[in-house]
Amino acid sequence: MGSTYYRRHGLVGPVILVGLGAILLLENMGLLSGNLWTVLLRMWPLILIAIGIDLLIGRRSTWGALLSLILIVGLFVGGFWLAGVRVQSGAQLLPTQDVRQPVGSAKAAELLLSPSAGQLDLKAAPGSADLLRGRVPSEMGSAVSMNVSAAGTLARIELRDSGAVGFPFIVSGDRAAWTLAVTDQVPVDLKVAMGAGEMTLDLGGLDISHLEVDTAVGQTTIRLPSHGRFQGKVSSAIGQIIIEVPSGLGLRLHLSSGIAGVTVPPSYRHEGDDYTSPGYGATGGMVDLEISQAIGSILIR
């Protein structure tokens, strides 16, 4: 009788998928404490260790596979525990700080926002004498700094997060949230660069002169204004881009979708990678956007 050869596929991939799903579920329910997404970014060496355990022990026999599974799960659980991630009974909000910058003598503004991870909500503040106001996280190790400069009548405001980039697809509640309002009294050149998380830019009512939005991982939702004329670029590596178009706005799109799915209203004229809404070029608002999504989906609605 010949010997039996035990062969199976690796355990590391399935364990990571199951674990990531469990983490996302607990995070969305607000049951995890600690700077979870910063920890996830720093945990990648554990994957190499887990692969080594699987190759050394897990592929020799059924009992070896079981022992390998126990060691790999214990490795990740222990790593997150030592990094300060805990399951808790309820959500804990991060401490926040107020940000405010008056319009002053500015006739135009350039606004640069750089959250590393979390949630960003931006909307108009009609008639506000503050060019920018709102609340941002002030957690130790990831506080947000604000730099303000002026060149003639142009005001430049930069908000930058000192924290590391994380990896959330969905962020719950107000945890790690930037909540900002921008005046409609001056034209705004808006640039946003987010590492990972969920972003909602409600541009309705704002006077946008230019738009640039870049996200590594997560969901980006942009509600376009019903008036005005500007150009912009929106890009993301992994996740979803949603563009909400108000009635009457003329929109022209150039889409680079990689392996992402694309959904565009059937009324749009389609030529190659270019899409044009009905009425584009007529009187009223006109927006030209270049949209790039490598993996995920693009939704125009």
For the chain, the domains span 12-87, 96-300
Q: Which of 79-83, 117-121, 161-165 has the highest mean pLDDT?
A: 117-121
pLDDT digits (tens, 9 = 90+) for 236-248: 988 899 999 998 8
Position with higher pLDDT, 277 vs 52: 277
pLDDT digits (tens, 9 = 90+) for 176-187: 689 999 999 999
Residue 168: pLDDT band by 50, 70, 90 thresholds?
very low
pLDDT digits (tens, 9 = 90+) for 191-213: 999 988 889 999 999 999 999 99
- The rounded mean pLDDT for the chain is 81
Q: How many CB atoms lie within 10 A of CB 102?
A: 14
Position with higher pLDDT, 274 vs 143: 274
Chain-centre distance for alpha carbon 66: 37
Distance (Å) of CA 137 to CA 93, 115, 300 = 9, 10, 31
Q: Is the pLDDT of residue 106 over 90?
A: yes
CA atoms within 13 A on the CB side of 78: 8
Backbone phi, psi, residue 169, to 5°: -90, -30
Q: Is the pLDDT of residue 167 over 50?
A: no
For the residues 129-149, what does the mean pLDDT come to?
84
* Least confident range of 14-28, 75-89, 200-214, 221-235: 75-89
Q: How many CB atoms lie within 10 A of CB 131?
A: 23
pLDDT of residue 193: 96
pLDDT digits (tens, 9 = 90+) for 147-165: 999 999 999 999 998 654 4
Tokens 């008639």 map to which residue? 127
Chain-centre distance for alpha carbon 219: 5
Say if pTM beats, i.e. exceeds, 0.75: no
Position with higher pLDDT, 19 vs 107: 107
Tell me the sheet residues that pair with 6: none
pLDDT digits (tens, 9 = 90+) for 29-53: 555 555 555 566 666 677 777 777 7
DSSP 32-64: EES-HHHHHHHTHHHHHHHHHHIIIIITS-HHH
DSSP the chain: -PPPPP----SHHHHHHHHHHHHHHHHHTT-EES-HHHHHHHTHHHHHHHHHHIIIIITS-HHHHHHHHHHHHHHHHHHHHHTT-EE-SS--PPPEEEEEEE-TT-SEEEEEEE--EEEEEEEEETT-SEEEEEEEE--TTSPEEEEEEEETTEEEEEEEE-SPP---S---TTTTEEEEEEESSS-EEEEEEEEEEEEEEE-TT--EEEEEEEEEEEEEEEE--SS-EEEEEEEEEEEEEEEE--TT-EEEEEEE-TT-EEE--TTSEEETTEEE-TTTTSSS-EEEEEEEEEEEEEEE-
Q: How many CB atoms lie within 10 A of CB 200?
A: 16
Q: What distance in Å separates the CA atoms of residue 93 and residue 174, rounded to the nearest whole number? A: 7
Q: Is the pLDDT of residue 233 over 90?
A: yes
pLDDT of residue 53: 73
Angle CA 186–191–192, to nearest 5: 130
pLDDT of residue 13: 66
